[in-house]
Amino acid sequence: MKFMQTDKKKIRILFVCLGNICRSPAAEGIMKKFVDKNELQDIIEVDSAGTSGWHEGDLPDERMRAHGDARGYDFSSKARKFRKNDFDLFDYIIVMDDSNYKNVKSLANDNEQVSKIRMMTDFLVQNTHHNYIPDPYYGDSSGFELVLDLLEDANEGLLQAIKKKYSL
Ligand code: 4NP
């Protein structure tokens, strides 16, 4: 039962923020670690992108990498811009805030593609009073810690939802 999904196509998750150097690569790195811990790496694939191409090819922000490192994560994916064909490649397109939602939605072809877009905060289990993941770029270290707290919480919820949906 556990590996039922291996015969079918993989479940693919894309995390999206503005720059793809703070929130979404952190969400990607955290989810990858959770997927490995649950031995689901043959079933679930994770990636991230930005609605802007401002940091294309860059590693995640040094501050985000350092805060992640302190919690045992490796944030090392290179930034890329969200593309229209990501709607065909991914099952879940998880955005961090309303602006990301609006920008990604504007590239969707139809309602089926729109239905793939979800707010990261929809999956929070503990910190349910947050309705977006705040951009930490212009703030201090407390902003990075808050982002990591929220991303860990929401990724736990997202993984539980996926495990339930696909009987994993
Ligand atoms: P992110 O944060 O969307 O979480 O990657 C930002 C990174 C860079 C900029 C803004 C937000 N920027 O203005 O360059």
pLDDT at 4 over 80: no
Task: Report residue 98: phi and psi, to 5°.
Answer: -65, -35
- Who's near 78: CB < 8 A, 6+ residues apart? 57, 58, 59
The pLDDT confidence band at residue 8, using thresholds 50, 70 and 90, is low
17 counts as catalytic: yes
Ligand 1 nearest-atom number relative to CA 60:
5
Length of the chain in residues, anyone?
168
Average pLDDT value for the chain: 96
The catalytically annotated residue of 86, 97, 135, 153 is 135
**Percent residues over pLDDT 70 in the chain:** 95
pLDDT at 2 over 50: no
Domains of the chain by range and CATH?
11-165 (3.40.50.2300)
Helices (H), the chain: 23-37, 62-70, 86-89, 98-105, 111-114, 141-165
Amino acid at 59: L
Q: What is the mean pLDDT of residues 35-62?
A: 98
Distance 18 CA to ligand 1 centre (A): 5
In this predicted structure, what is the pLDDT of residue 167?
A: 96
Q: Which two tokens stand for residue 46?
A: 């994770």
**Residue of 21, 56, 80 to mutate, ligand 1, most atoms within 8 A of C-beta:** 21
Query: Is the pTM for the entire model greater than 0.85?
Result: yes
Q: How far is 128 from 147, CA to CA, in rounded Å?
A: 14
Distance 19 CA to ligand 1 centre (A): 4
| Ligand 1, CB cutoff 6 Å, lining residues | 17-23, 54, 135, 137
In this predicted structure, what is the pLDDT of residue 1?
A: 42
The pLDDT confidence band at residue 9, using thresholds 50, 70 and 90, is confident
